[in-house]
Amino acid sequence: MNRSALTRLMPEGPVGTWLAGFRIDSSSQTPLYLQIASEIEHRIGHGRIAIGERLPPQRALAELVGVSRNTAVQAYRELERRGWVRSRVGRGTFAALPLDRAVPNPSWQPQFSASISRVTRPFMGEVNTEQAGRLSLASGKVAADPSIIGTFRQMFDLVLEREGARAFEPGPPQGIPALRAALAAHLHAGGADVRPQEILITAGARQALSILASILVDPGDTVVTEGPTYRGAIQAFQGVGARIICVPTDGDGLDLEALESVLAYTRPKLIYVIPTFQNPSSVSLSLERRHLLIEAAARRAVPIVEDDPYWELRYEGARLPRLKALDTWGGVIHVGTFSKLVFPGVRVGWIAGPPGVIRQAAVAKAGGGLHVSSLPQWAMARLLEENLLEPHLRRACQRLRSKRDLLLASLARHARGRLMARRPEGGLFVWARLPAPVQAADLLKSTSAKGVDFVAGPAFWPSGGDPYAMRLCFAGLDEPQLEEAAAIVGRSLASALTGVEPGEERHPERAPAGYMECGRRRGRAVPGRRA
C-alpha cells in the first residue's frame, strides 16, 4: 500500500475494531511513531481501547499499520513514557491510564443502595480514634492481657493435637457442636437453661444483631430500645429500615412505666435491651424490673432481644439473673459474645433462642457468609471445657476494677467536682455528665486536639440525645494513660468553663438518677439520686 496516501483504513477484526479509522500521514512533518502513539492514546482516552486491554505485539502492530518494527517499538515507548501503556516482560503491552488522568475520587454516592442512607450515625468517627499514639477512652475494646495470649497458645496446641485436620474444616453454619455444647453448659452454670441446638455461633454479638434484625424486622417496623443504647444496635435496626423508639432509663435501667405507655399505642416487632452493665450507661436493670419487663412483653407476645456482653464483668454487688434465665414464655432471645471476656479479635459470639428462631437465623447466616472461622471456635470450646474461662475472668475483673477506680479518682482530681459520673458496678464504661453550658461534642473537639478521644452522648440515640453526656471507656488504656487522659479531660473542661461564673455553671435541673458527683467540691453540682 502507498503509505504516502493520507489515510489508511485498518481492517475490522478483533484488533482491527479499534484500529478502524486509524490515520497516519507519511508526508507529515510529525514522525510516524508519534502519529501512531497519538492515535492509540486517543483511542484509550476515549474508551475505545479498555484500560487493561492487551495491545498487539510490536511486530503485529507494525504489520497492521504498515510501518517498520522499529517504528512500532518507538510508538510503544512513547506511549509508555506518556503513561498510556504498561509493558510487562513476557506478557505484552497493556492499555493504562496515566496517573494524572486517573479520576482522583470518583463519586460513589449515586452507586450506594438506599438502605445505607437509613443509618444515621457517623460510625467512621470511631475508626479515627484508634490511631496510634492517641489515648482512646472511646473504643469499647478490652486490651488482651499476656496471660490470655499464653492460654490461647495452649488451646490452639491442644486443638491441633486432638482435632488435627478437622480443626481446619469449616464447621456447620450453626457453629461447631463442641462449642455449642460447651457454651450451653456455660450458660446453664449461669442459670440459663439453654440446649446446644438452641445456639447459633456468630462472628461476635454485632453480627448476631444484624442476623436477628434481618429475620425479625421489616422496613417500617418499630423496635423499642433503651435510650441511650448501643450504637451498633441502632445501626443494625436502622439498616433494615426499622423505626426506633427509645424508652428512657434511670439508675435501675429501663423505665417500665414509660415502656408500658409506649406499648399501649404501638406494637413493636421486638424490644432490644442490654440489661446488665448497659452500653453506654453501665446501669443494670433491677431484678424487679427484669420480671416486669418479661411480663409486659409476654402479655403482648413481643420478643425481647437480650444483648448481654458484660454479664460476667461484675466488680462488686450481687449477680442479677440473665433475662434468658427468667424467661417464662420462650420470648427471650439471648445474644452473647466472647469479645469482652477474652479478647476483641476472637470474633466468636452467639444467639441463644427458641429452635425456630435459631433455624431461621442459621439460614440467614448461611446466606450472609456461612461460617465463623473454625479455629477460634475450637479454641473457645476447649477453653470452656478446661474450665479456664472462670480463672481468667477473675483476673480480668480485678484488673478492670482497678482501672475503673483509677479513672474515677483521676476524673475527680482533675475535673474538681464539675463532672457527674456513675460508678459502674461492672462493664467497661463511665457514663458522665458535664455542666451546662459545656456540651460533650465541644469538649471532645478540645480533648481530641490534645490526643484524647471519648464518645459524646448524643451518638447513643438514633437522632441525638443528651448533649451533656459522655461515655468514657476505661478498658483499653493502662493506668498511667488513664491518669493522663483524665488530666486532659479535666484541663479541657476547666478551660471550657473559663469565664463562666460559678453560679452560671449548671448541672441539669434534675440529674438523671444514678449519677453521683465526681469530685471534691460537693455541693457545687447537683447530685442525682444515687443508684
Q: Which is nearer to ligand PMP, 44 or 234 (CB)?
A: 234
Nearest distance, CB of residue 208 and ligand PMP, angstroms: 8
Q: Is 206 near ligand PMP (CB under 6 A)?
A: yes
Q: Which is nearer to ligand PMP, 95 or 432 (CB)?
A: 432
- Percentages helix, strand, coil for the chain (3-state, rounded to 5) are 45, 15, 40
Taking CB under 6 A as the criterion, which residues in 135-194 touch ligand PMP? Answer: 140
Q: Which stretch binds ligand PMP (CB under 6 A): 198-206, 248-256, 316-324, 509-517?
A: 198-206
Q: What backbone phi and psi angles, to 5 degrees, belong to 379?
A: -60, -40
Q: Is 279 near ligand PMP (CB under 6 A)?
A: yes
Q: Is 507 near ligand PMP (CB under 6 A)?
A: no
Nearest distance, CB of residue 438 and ligand PMP, angstroms: 26
Nearest distance, CB of residue 113 and ligand PMP, angstroms: 23
Taking CB under 6 A as the criterion, which residues in 258-277 touch ligand PMP? Answer: 274
Taking CB under 6 A as the criterion, which residues in 215-234 touch ligand PMP? Answer: 230, 232
Taking CB under 6 A as the criterion, which residues in 370-429 touch ligand PMP? Answer: none
Taking CB under 6 A as the criterion, which residues in 446-505 touch ligand PMP? Answer: none
Q: What backbone phi and psi angles, to 5 degrees, belong to 221?
A: -70, 155
Eight-class DSSP state of 438: -
Nearest distance, CB of residue 458 and ligand PMP, angstroms: 17
Q: Which is nearer to ligand PMP, 206 or 289 (CB)?
A: 206
Nearest distance, CB of residue 444 and ligand PMP, angstroms: 19
Nearest distance, CB of residue 228 and ligand PMP, angstroms: 11
CA–CA distance, 19 with 39 (Å, rounded to integer): 9
By CB atoms closer than 10 A (0-12, 13-18, 19+), residue 95 is buried
Q: Which stretch binds ligand PMP (CB under 6 A): 92-100, 199-207, 387-395, 447-455?
A: 199-207
The DSSP bridge partners found for residue 335 are 307, 351
Cα within 13 Å of Cα(90), Cβ side: 0
Q: Which stretch binds ligand PMP (CB under 6 A): 202-210, 288-296, 434-442, 470-478?
A: 202-210
Q: Which is nearer to ligand PMP, 372 or 489 (CB)?
A: 372
Cβ atoms of 236 and 121 closer than 8 Å:
no
First to last CA, the chain: 97
Say which residue the cell 428462631 belongs to.
357
Q: What backbone phi and psi angles, to 5 degrees, belong to 318?
A: -85, 145
DSSP string, 283-352: ----HHHHHHHHHHHHHHT--EEEE-TTTT-B-SSPPPPPHHHH-SSS-EEEEEESTTTT-GGG--EEEE
Q: What backbone phi and psi angles, to 5 degrees, belong to 455?
A: -110, 125
CA–CA distance, 237 with 382 (Å, rounded to integer): 34
The C-alpha cell that represents 503 in the structure block: 453560679
Q: Which is nearer to ligand PMP, 335 or 496 (CB)?
A: 335
Taking CB under 6 A as the criterion, which residues in 284-313 touch ligand PMP? Answer: 307, 309
Say which residue the cell 477453653 belongs to.
383
Task: Residue 80: name the closest of 63, 98, 54 by CA.
Answer: 98
Nearest distance, CB of residue 427 and ligand PMP, angstroms: 9
Cα radius of gyration (the chain): 31
Taking CB under 6 A as the criterion, which residues in 323-352 touch ligand PMP? Answer: 337, 339, 344, 349
Can you give the binding site for ligand PMP, defined by CB under 6 A? 140, 204-206, 230, 232, 274, 279, 307, 309, 337, 339, 344, 349
